[in-house]
Structures are given as C-alpha cells and as structure tokens.
Amino acid sequence: MAKPAVKPKVESLAAKSKSSPKSSGPGDNSISAEELKSFYRSMLLIRRFEERAGQLYGMGLIGGFCHLYIGQEAVVVGMQSTINDKDAIITSYRDHGHMLACGMDPKGVMAELTGRSGGYSRGKGGSMHMFSRDKNFYGGHGIVGAQVPIGTGLAFAHKYNGSRNVSLTYFGDGSANQGQVYEAMNMAALWKLPVVYVIENNRYGMGTSVERASATTELFRHGEAFGIPGVRVDGMDVLAVRAAGEKAVEHARSGAGPYILEMQTYRYRGHSMSDPAKYRTKEEVDKYRTERDPIDHLRKRLLDAGLVDEAALKAVDAELRKIVGDAAEFAQHSPEPDPSELWTDILVGA
Amino acid sequence: MSIPVLMPALSPTMTEGKLAKWHVKVGDAVKSGQVICEIETDKATMEVEAVDEGVVAQILIEEGAEGVAVNTPICVLAAEGESVADAAKAAPAVATRSEQAPAQATPAPMPAAAVSAPPATAPASEPEWTGKTAHITVREALRDAMAEEMRNDGNIFLMGEEVAQYHGAYKVSQGLLEEFGDKRVIDTPITEHGFAGLGVGAAFGGLKPIVEFMTFNFSMQAMDQIINSAAKTHYMSGGQMTCPIVFRGPNGAASRVGAQHSQCYASWYAHVPGLRVLAPWSAADAKGLLKAAIRDPNPVIFLENEMLYGQSFDVPEDPDFVLPIGKAKIERVGKDVTIVAFSIMVGKALQAAEELAKQGIDAEVINLRSLRPFDTETIVTSIKKTNRLVSVEEGWPFAGIGSELAAQMMEHAFDWLDAPVKRVTGLDVPLPYAANLERMALPQADNIIEAARAVCNR
C-alpha cells in the first residue's frame, strides 16, 4: 500500500508567491528539497500507474471507458500540496491521478479498474466512479460538468458548518461550456462559497479543440461575469501550479469566495483508450512530450540543483514500479464481486 | 527477466489487428512511454507505447502481419542486467486473453423472472394515531413537517426559488425564514440544474437539504443531477457515499396553466432505482410522509399537488407522527372493486366510490402514497377480496404507474382477477389550456365510475 503521496501543507506560502494578476510566476524557489522530491515521486507514481492501466486495458483486463491522465500530472500534484486533508476534492472521469495524489491506495484504484471486489467501489463503479470518504475524495463523475455544482455544494457544506475548508473542483476545457458550470459559479460568487475551480485545459474536449468549442478561449476569464477572479497557469510546471494554487486556496479559505485557475496542460494519450487521434498532429504531441513534460522538467531541476543524483531517482522509479506492479497484481487476483452485490447499496437501510 | 510485450486491445471490442509498423529494432533501448509500433484496426491506426523499460531482444511479429490476436506476444524486451540473447531465448509463455481475462460471463445469479430486487423487509405497518388531531391544510402540514424536523436537526435546510422572502411561490414555506433565518432558508437564483446539483453536493458533504422545485415541471432542468448524481452514487461508490436529500414541490396539473406547467412526473421518477418516490394526498399524508422523507438517508422525490394545498384534513398533533415509507393506505373499505390512486386522484376516487355505492357497487379505495417502493402486497390482498382493479392517475397512460400496476398484478394476482385491469389516466395529449378541453383531458370521477362499472360488468 502506498503512503499518501503528498503531505498536507500547514503553513501558507501565498505571501511569498509573486504572481502577476493574469499569469502565475515561474514557481516558488523556497520550496523545500523534501517537497520537491515528493512532487516528483507523486507525479511519477501517477505516470507509472497510468502506463500500467493502459497495459491492463490492452490485455482486456480493464473494460469500458478508461481515461488516462498521462501528461497532466503536475496539475493535481501541485494543487494537492496546497490543501489540507479536510478539504474536499472532486473531479470528472479522468480521475485516477486525483485519487493517487490524495493518497488513495493504488491497489484499490487498480482493482476498481478491473472491476474486482477489492476496488474502491467494490467493482460497481469502474474507472469513472470511485470515492473515498476517508480522503475526502468525492468522485469520479461521468457526466461532463456535473461535478461542478456538486463541488460547489461541498463548499456550501463547508461554509454552512462554519469550517475553514475549501472544495477543489476540477473540470476540463470540455466542461467549461456546460450551462450548469455557470449556474454553479453564479451561486458560488453570490454566496461567497469556498471553492477553487481548477480548469484542466488539456486543449481538447475529446477530439474538439478549445478553439473550435469556446467562443472565448481565455477560460480563466469565464467567471468574470460573476466577479470571480481567475489566472492562467502553466499546468506543466508543478511549481507554477503550486504557487497559483496557494493563492487561490487562500482566497477561498479566507471567505472571499470562489477562484478560477486555468491550468494549461496536455494529455499525451487519447481521450479514452479508443481514440484514433486524428484531430491533432503527432508533432504536436511529441513537442509536449519532449519539451514540456512535467516530470522531466522537475527531474532536471532536482538534478541541476544537486538535490538528488541519478541513483536516487532510479531508486524512486524502482520503488514506484513495484507499487504499481503490486497494484496490478492485486487487481488481477482480487475476486470479482459476489453475485449478491448486484442488489446491495441501492438504498441506505433497505 | 525477459519482458514480453503483448498485442494490445485498443477498444473494448477489438479482438485482432494489423501490426502496421515497428518503430524499434532488436538492440534498441526502450523507455516507458516510447512509441514502439503502430497498430491498425478497421477503425483506426494507433501507436503502442512501451510500459516497461529494457532493450528489444526479439521481434516476434513482423511488420505488416495482419490478424494478430489481442494478447499475442509481439516482441520481447530484455530487462536491465539481462543479455539480449538470453531474453530472446526465454520463450514468452504468456497467458492469452482468453486464459487471463476474468470470466466474462458470470452466470446470472437471479432467475430470469426476477427483474426487481428481492423485496426488502416489509415496511413497518402504520401505527394507529389515536391522540388529538388538528384540522389543517395540506400547505400547513407541509410547513409544519419541515419546521418540526428543522428544529430537531441543524443540518436540515431548505433551498429553492422564492422559498424565503416570498414564503414560497405557493406559500408552503410561510414563516420558515422568520424562524430559521437566511442561513437555513435560502432563496436561489432560477437555476434548477445548478441548485439541484449544489444540493446533492451539500448532501454528500453531510447536510440534509430540502430542495423545493417551484413545480416539478422545472425539475426536468435538474434531471441529470437527480438521476445520475443523487440516485446512482450510493451504488456506484459501493455504499460509501450517501445522499440524504428531499426534492419536493407541486407535481401534475394545476388549473389552466398549459402543457409546460402541468405534467405528472410520477412514472418518470418511480422508474429509477436509488430513489424513493412519495405522493401524498391528505394533510396527514403530507405531514407524516414529509417528515419520513426528511429523516430518510436516501434521495426522496416528494410529489405534492397544488390543487390540494388549500384542502384541510385532520392531522395527528403528536410531533412524532411519522408515516412509514412504502405503505399504501386503504382509505375506504369495500368488497366489489379495488380502485388504486395517488395524490389528487385519491379524492376523485373516493368521490367516485360514493356514487358507486349508490349504484350498488362497494368500492375499496387504496391511496398508494409511496410509488417507490411500491406496496404490491396491500393491493394484492385487496384484489383477493374484490377480484377487480381500476387504476387511476393524472399522468399519461403509456408506461405510466397504471401500466406498472397492471404488470405487477399479472405477476402477483393473475389468478384472482375476474376482469382485466382497467386504467383511468390523463389523455395522451399535452394538456390543453381551454377549460373544456383541460377537463376532458384529466381523469374525472365520472371516468372512474365508468371504469369501475366496466370491470364489474355493470
């Protein structure tokens, strides 16, 4: 079982971040070496997990839809470092990375992908529908945009209860044109709800580019009608994500209301497993992989700063491969759900 | 250890494909994520990325090979520290898809006939309320139910359009803002999809929202959140998540408000596993069932009726008066024919029963009150006595509650029926505005009398 990938942060670094209003800074140089290494480890865990998930899918062990997070790891890892373990997290169906980042067990996640009783939803949810009350992870939602009002409602509950917690509500550029997103933003701003909307703009809603789907492509400005501040962030740079996230989370936590972060990111794999990828060029994908990769970027930074050596990084990789290998093993040998499970969990207490 | 790379399935339906192109050759070092070959199917060409790292020791399937079955080893990688030659020698003994994949066809555990869940334990039968009663309107009963529950549990709040300062479009929430304040009685913008979803999120987060729809006609805007988020998440989460929420408001026709404001949603919601669906008639139903709905840990659809809001009934004053969910009520005992109705149609059915009595037909009238779960048992027991059944509803006939009732009786009471079940429903048209046409489109006592006489061969 993997340990929680990222330690919750307690002290705010927001004051140290010197972001301009419309774009975040290059990152915070004051982050500790330990934290940088934990970011690397978390991102690489997600990468290795997703590669293995893709492989299991190819072997027919995972069915249906399977949306991989490869390429976008910096977003969720950077954001996770800005919240505490009482804050709520909710996202769409591209959710494996979010679950691993908030410390859910890779075995339980992988076993849900294979539809086994050891999965987080005991095999009844699948790739898109996993939850952990323990980790305050509220799914895993398959309807584009539906998690946005729900995440706003989680923020409503935080405020109602008088807690100082926030809701990180992730959605993609594809959701960013959904009507209910704006209904939720309006209420969040109206009632000053502690929600941070993290738009993971990976440039394509399935196969349709942002330019072909959004009349205005500055998604961080999509809350302007409601007076919601927003910034565009380099979502391929975990430190930029972290710096912008600190500020946004602090804003929401202080009672000032919602905040929008547009993370400019990129998914290397298709929308789901069966994606012919005719809507973008191979050169475009290659360019991101070779020049913008968030893991390579941090790796270089760690090496250049002399914080780790090659051997240490190799050891991390070996450890993560073992964790992921064990998860895959568990996911293949955990039994299918008992037939009686068909009729359980329809209603509480019935 | 040598690592075999298998022909992957790129979609749930792919069984074989063409190995169109190799991007690596024997001796090449391969990294995770590196494209090693291209595969073609009838749908698409796709790149295969390496998951494991190593050096290509052997290519097993040549470029251009067609009909390569999924899970066939296509090449072998030598892991770090292993010689390429050794890796190539180790013949990849890899389980094929058919061996390794889990048994796809788990035998169906339930007999084919069991289309719905085995009945849960029968709901506790309704206690007799013998104490003092008050004669109050349905409107007051609903308000009192909410107020009493809100006094007991600080996690309960009411939200919806005009519920606070306006006191409810139909004055159902009168006085609640004054008593509970604007933290717990919340006017929303006119955004049903958004606030229904926000309510679901608040329920996931531990609160107990009561979401009012000004009418259930507007709940269509929120349908996705009600069905996909509220009803299904408990199941999809393997029981981890719960959604204790009540969606309530007037349902069905009011009076001459036209087709868009007059629909009955009973059968729509009753269709969905994961929801409870209640439809009170009297003020006592309204109070006892709304309290039950608020206390229930599941999402509940609570279908009220605008025409009933002003009608008065006797309601037990006992603050613990709560009705069981899933239990129909026999409103009038009779022996010749069973008339099953819910909501406003219960009143019409009772009216019809009085007229039928004058004609020598003794009708039993059952008030369903709960549409999901459905109290099949009470109806079957009644049919065993009367052998005849008329179902009454305001909604459309096709796939309506009456259709379900007829099917249930085929399954559970076929041998006891002396005549085919007769449905009295709203006509299969969008509800017209003109007074005469509207009256014709909605079930009236006369239609019920006619149907009862027909099943009694009179």
Q: What pLDDT, on a 0 to 100 scale, did the predictor assign at position B84?
A: 74
Q: What is the pLDDT of residues A199-243, one digit of tens each?
A: 999 999 999 999 999 999 999 999 999 999 999 999 999 999 999
Q: What pLDDT, on a 0 to 100 scale, did the predictor assign at position B130?
A: 80
Q: What pLDDT, on a 0 to 100 scale, did the predictor assign at position B319?
A: 87
Residue with tokens 């955004």: B191
The percentage of residues in chain A with a pLDDT greater than 70, rounded to a whole number, is 91
* Contact (CB, 8 A) for B303 and B279: yes
B244 neighbourhood in chain A, CB within 8 Å: 348
Q: What is the pLDDT of residues A136-174, one digit of tens each?
A: 999 999 999 999 999 999 999 999 999 999 999 999 999
Give the chain A residue nearest B42 (alpha carbons): A276
| Below-70 pLDDT ranges, chain B | 87-88, 90-125
Q: What pLDDT, on a 0 to 100 scale, did the predictor assign at position B109?
A: 46
Residue with tokens 């190593």: B54
Which residues 6+ apart lie within 8 Å of B233 measured at CB?
A: A129, A131, A139, B204, B241, B243
Distance between A185 CA and the closest CA of chain B, angstroms: 9
Q: What is the pLDDT of residues A277-317, one digit of tens each?
A: 789 998 999 999 999 999 999 999 999 999 999 999 999 99
A344 neighbourhood in chain B, CB within 8 Å: 239
Q: Which residues in A69-193 belong to E strands, given as ranges?
A: 88-91, 137-140, 167-172
Q: Residue A64 and residue B16: Cα distance in Å, rounded? A: 17
ipTM confidence score: 0.90
Joined together, the tokens standing for residue A151 give 């995440």
A348 neighbourhood in chain B, CB within 8 Å: 234, 242, 244, 297-298
Q: What is the DSSP track for B27-76?
A: T-EE-TT-EEEEEE-SS-EEEEE-SS-EEEEEE-S-TT---EETT-EEEE
Could B8 and A58 be called an inter-chain contact, meaning their C-beta atoms sit closer than 8 Å? yes
Q: What is the mean pLDDT of chain A?
A: 91
Which residues 6+ apart lie within 8 Å of B279 measured at CB?
A: B251, B266, B303, B342, B343, B368, B369, B370, B371
Q: What pLDDT, on a 0 to 100 scale, did the predictor assign at position A9?
A: 37
Q: What pLDDT, on a 0 to 100 scale, did the predictor assign at position B445?
A: 98
Residue A20 pLDDT exceeds 50: no
Q: Is B339 helix (H, G, I), strand (E, B) or coil?
A: strand
Q: What pLDDT, on a 0 to 100 scale, did the predictor assign at position A274?
A: 75
Q: What pLDDT, on a 0 to 100 scale, did the predictor assign at position A278?
A: 85
Nearest to B118 among A63, A142, A343 (CB): A343
Q: Residue B322 and residue B300: Cα distance in Å, rounded? A: 15
Q: Residue B453 and residue B361: Cα distance in Å, rounded? A: 8
Cis amide leading into A8 (omega within 30): no
Q: What pLDDT, on a 0 to 100 scale, did the predictor assign at position B33?
A: 83
Q: Which of residues 70-99 of B touch A (CB under 8 A)?
A: 70-71, 97
The amino acid occupying position A172 is: G
Q: What is the pLDDT of residues A176-201, one digit of tens each?
A: 999 999 999 999 999 999 999 999 99
Nearest to B201 among A60, A151, A332 (CB): A151
Q: Is B281 helix (H, G, I), strand (E, B) or coil?
A: coil
Residue A246, Cβ density class (10 Å: 0-12 exposed, 13-18 middle, ≥19 buried):
buried
Q: Is A243 helix (H, G, I), strand (E, B) or coil?
A: helix
B373 neighbourhood in chain A, CB within 8 Å: 350
Q: What pLDDT, on a 0 to 100 scale, did the predictor assign at position A5?
A: 41
Residue with tokens 């977003």: A75
Residue A259 pLDDT exceeds 50: yes
Does A340 reach chain B within 8 Å, measured CB to CB? yes
Could A146 and B11 be called an inter-chain contact, meaning their C-beta atoms sit closer than 8 Å? no
Half-sphere exposure of B301 (CA within 13 A, CB side): 32
Conformational region of residue B343, where left means phi above 0, alpha means psi within -120 to 50, and beta covers everything else = left
Cross-strand partners of B372: B277
Could A184 and B198 be called an inter-chain contact, meaning their C-beta atoms sit closer than 8 Å? yes
B261 is annotated as an active-site residue: yes
User: Pairing between strand B363-367 and B337-341?
Assistant: parallel
pTM: 0.89
Half-sphere exposure of B28 (CA within 13 A, CB side): 15
Give the chain A residue nearest B101 (alpha carbons): A61
Q: Which of residues 157-216 of A touch B (CB under 8 A)?
A: 157-158, 160-161, 167, 179-180, 182-184, 186-187, 190
Q: Which of residues 259-318 of A touch B (CB under 8 A)?
A: 268, 270, 273-278, 289
Q: Which run of H or E residues covers position B355?
A: helix B344-358
Q: Which of residues 397-456 of B touch A (CB under 8 A)?
A: none
* Contact (CB, 8 A) for A29 and A18: no
Does B23 reach chain A within 8 Å, measured CB to CB? no
Length of chain B: 458
Q: What pLDDT, on a 0 to 100 scale, did the predictor assign at position B118?
A: 54
B123 neighbourhood in chain A, CB within 8 Å: none
